[in-house]
Structure 1
Amino acid sequence: MSSNAPGAPATNGDQSAGADVLVVGAGPAALAIATALLERGVTVAALALGDPRAPWPNTYGIWGEEVDRLGLAHLLGHRWSNTLSWFAETPCPHGRDYGLFDKDKLQRHWLERGEEAGLVWHRGRAASIHHAPCHSVVTTAEGKELSARLVVDASGHDPVFVHRPSEGPVAGQAAYGIVGRFSAPPVEPGQFVLMDFRTGHLTPAERLEPPTFLYAMDYGDGVYFVEETSLALAPPLPFAALKERLRRRLAARGVEVLEVQHEEHCLFPMNLPLPDLHQPVVGFGGAASMVHPASGYLVGALLRRAPDLAGAIAEGLADPQRPTAELARRAWAGLWPLEMRRKHALYRFGLEKLMRYPEGELRAFFATFFALPAEQWYGFLTNSLPLPALVAAMLRLFASAPGSVRWGLLEAKGRELALLGRVLKP
């Protein structure tokens, strides 16, 4: 039997003494839920495939208001007040701060808090799981057995243990980006660009192809981050196509790449169906389909919703005789209550519509969307609007949109009607 003292490196013993909760994973979702559970007095062990301190590869953005409410603004690496998008030849200012986490600080924040509270790390590849009435045992590929009253799978979008139904093609948001130095500023100094849909660098025929946009920001000291992004597509756009579009976009502005400090390849599913909420393993993060189906945001949701899930788990664990299946049922209900399930169906419906729009209608849609009152578009993007307010925002957008956008919203194809039906019966 082997375990780790707080702050000690992960080990590879033969068996765990058992914990209240075993978290599978070592990314943002795993650390967020492990920390939230520990803060409620729950004993937690975590299973990492590799070194849990290995650097995370991707960047994580969040709106300034959201991070301020969470009290985590000190974990930002960058923050911008000059925030805007381009849907036409004139900019659309957003009037809200946007921040980028210092991912190393964010990771250390969770690791240090977790290990100070007694988080036990184990390493190995989760291979199988066995459910007894009041505990579950995960066996690794190396033969190690880890026992816990409940297992939380936070291993990502393609989870190890969480099951979800198959409901057709899954749309992926793909992006290729670079951090580096350029011959001229790719965006104005001190500026953050959420979406730049301008297409002057494309031929008329290319504008009929699936649209992409530039996501870009000034890091300061002559360093910029530029990323060509496809909102969502099934199958997703290849990285090579995104890289070429980024090159041409920069070249059309007379900008050359002088130095590449970091290269980012980002691909994640946007419209995953909800998992089976009756299974005895609980998911969190991508494993629980928590990516915002219309905006792609996740980290803000992890920070806001981890306490709800942790609270439901801690309450269930208070009864030492409560079966694992009942613990999981309570946990799933805490993570995906009825209103959240209905909103998820609405967002998936919205994404289905957006994926059908050609470039011109997509520009018009977003121009209309960001002309909504700031609390409506912000609440939509962060999934923080109550359901009635979300419906009101969508109706207001429909009423104020151009005719071609309204027709696209009305036209029923594929699984859209089924998704609307889930708003009533999720």
Structure 2
Amino acid sequence: MPDVLIAGAGPAGWALAAHCARLGLQTTVVAPHPLRPWRATYGLWGDELAMLPPDVTAAEPVVVRAFTNKPHIIARRYAILSNERLLAALTKNVTAVTGKVVRIGPDSVDLLDGRTFRAKTVVNAMGSRGGTAEQTAYGVIVDEQTAAPVVTAGEAVFMDWRSAHNTFLYAMPLGGGRVLLEETSLARRPALDFRTLRQALAQRLAPHGIDIDAPAVERVRFPLDVPRPKHNRVLPFGAAAGFVHPAAGYSVGEAFRLAPRIAAAIAGGDNAWRALWPVRARVVHRLRWWGLEALLSLSATETRQFFELFFDLPPDAQRGYLSGRDDPAATAAAMLSIFRRASGRLRLVCAKSVITGIRNVNIK
């Protein structure tokens, strides 16, 4: 019987598995395809890369730009992960079991084929469930020469809001001369469908002579407003534990940052739930939830105004809001700075949405 059994083979599940194994815990990961490289594109901020094994990035653009009503340079390093190299680095000394999980208990997991696996600690890393506000994206992968009119070699576009659809372009090098051109709906309730996103991408790229009928396509869809899980005997991790940033969609960085802490708690017989959601992290999550409600209320013009104010923030303030999971002061300071510099109309929309968010959270 293993010490730790992790249901789910995404980056979060494997990150925790790797750290558990390094601490000498017998660790098993179970999923339908536990060793298949992930299909999604994952990006991390440069200051988060120290949490990962070495040499697992596929591309690190020299310049990262953003566009609202004016261009911005993001003064923070950004990198795209190599899913194949990262997975290979994480799977050492971990047992992989192929099977579909149909039930997760505090000390056992049942599979669709009738098998049951037992462990001292069971972790649910199977992703988030529920939620009504979603982030969706539709992208195509093209070569650098094709993408050059939009993003030149060695550069990246983190967000380009110059669109009437209230969506942005995410243009990232993937390594090997490939570039992802992806139209993204940051947050919608209900979600913006892939057909509309594809049309928006085609309209954006048509003036540059870029045809979106590429053989390699990426589709992204996940909920943003999933509540924090209630305490029970099955430990969640990753998106299943509510790691998704409600107003930005990032979660992989949080999983890699917390994996050593949670693995140490499991190995030491401590209460891992306390390490998942300390009080400061719960406060930040509530603030971010209000930020999500604000974004959901903005028109395309107001969204550009909002992000123009955001990208004008000092780099430390941007980092505090995007990555400061347990820093309420940094999160609140960034939000207040934007609010103070916003127009009267934008202030009113944000204030109303925050009130709505408070009511919705209290109802839940």
Which TM-score applies when normalising by structure 1? Answer: 0.79
On the 8 A contact 2:228/2:241 being kept in 1, the answer is: yes
Counterpart of 1:95?
A: 75
1:211-290 alignment to 2 at 5 Å?
211-219=166-174, 223-257=178-212, 260=214, 262-277=216-231, 279-290=232-243
Structure-2 change in CA distance of 1:410 and 1:349 (3 Å): same
SS of 1:397's equivalent in the other structure is: helix
Counterpart of 1:177?
A: 139
Structure-2 change in CA distance of 1:384 and 1:344 (3 Å): closer
1:207-249 CA-to-partner distances (Å, cap 9, x unmatched) read 3xx5111000345675321000000112211111111111111
Counterpart of 2:283?
A: 342
Counterpart of 1:325?
A: none
Q: 2:61 aligns with which of 69, 75, 80?
A: 80
1:169-225 CA-to-partner distances (Å, cap 9, x unmatched) read 5211100111113285322332210110112xxxxxxx3xx5111000345675321
Q: CA RMSD in A?
A: 2.3
CA–CA distance in structure 1, aligned partners of residues 343 and 324 of structure 2: 25
CA–CA distance in structure 1, aligned partners of residues 2 and 175 of structure 2: 45
Counterpart of 1:324?
A: none
SS of 2:214's equivalent in the other structure is: strand
Counterpart of 1:4?
A: none
How much identity, in percent, do the aligned residues show? Answer: 35
Q: 2:24 aligns with which of 41, 62, 65?
A: 41
Determine if the alignment matches structure 1 residue 32 to structure 2 residue 23. no
SS of 1:250's equivalent in the other structure is: helix
Structure 1: which amino acid aligns with 2:214? V
User: How much does 1:268 deviate?
Assistant: 0.9
CA–CA distance in structure 2, aligned partners of residues 141 and 220 of structure 1: 38
CA–CA distance in structure 2, aligned partners of residues 29 and 142 of structure 1: 25
Structure-2 change in CA distance of 1:130 and 1:220 (3 Å): closer
Unaligned runs of 5+ in 2: none
SS of 1:398's equivalent in the other structure is: helix
SS of 1:351's equivalent in the other structure is: helix
1:236-286 CA-to-partner distances (Å, cap 9, x unmatched) read 1111111111111100233335x8352101111111110112x11011111
1:391-402 alignment to 2 at 5 Å?
391-402=332-343
Q: 1:316 aligns with which of 245, 254, 269?
A: 269
Q: 2:150 aligns with which of 186, 192, 202?
A: 186
Determine if the alignment matches structure 1 residue 352 to structure 2 residue 296. no
Of structures 1 and 2, the larger Rg is shown by 1
CA–CA distance in structure 2, aligned partners of residues 64 and 365 of structure 1: 24
CA–CA distance in structure 1, aligned partners of residues 66 and 36 of structure 2: 34
Counterpart of 2:112?
A: 141
Unaligned runs of 5+ in 1: 1-17, 159-165, 200-206, 318-329
Structure-2 change in CA distance of 1:408 and 1:314 (3 Å): same
On the 8 A contact 1:154/1:285 being kept in 2, the answer is: yes
Which TM-score applies when normalising by structure 2? Answer: 0.92
CA–CA distance in structure 2, aligned partners of residues 35 and 415 of structure 1: 41
CA–CA distance in structure 1, aligned partners of residues 196 and 261 of structure 2: 40
User: How much does 1:384 deviate?
Assistant: 4.7
Structure 2: which amino acid aligns with 1:25? G
User: How much does 1:41 deviate?
Assistant: 2.3
CA–CA distance in structure 2, aligned partners of residues 398 and 378 of structure 1: 17
SS of 2:3's equivalent in the other structure is: strand
Structure-2 change in CA distance of 1:336 and 1:190 (3 Å): same
On the 8 A contact 1:190/1:220 being kept in 2, the answer is: no
SS of 1:314's equivalent in the other structure is: helix
Structure-2 change in CA distance of 1:345 and 1:396 (3 Å): same
Structure 1: which amino acid aligns with 2:216? H
On the 8 A contact 1:188/1:218 being kept in 2, the answer is: no
CA–CA distance in structure 2, aligned partners of residues 220 and 55 of structure 1: 16
On the 8 A contact 1:83/1:192 being kept in 2, the answer is: yes
Corresponding residue pairs, total: 362
CA–CA distance in structure 2, aligned partners of residues 29 and 65 of structure 1: 18
User: How much does 1:130 deviate?
Assistant: 4.8
CA–CA distance in structure 2, aligned partners of residues 223 and 235 of structure 1: 32
Structure-2 change in CA distance of 1:91 and 1:347 (3 Å): same
On the 8 A contact 1:184/1:256 being kept in 2, the answer is: no
CA–CA distance in structure 2, aligned partners of residues 183 and 110 of structure 1: 32
User: How much does 1:415 deviate?
Assistant: 4.0
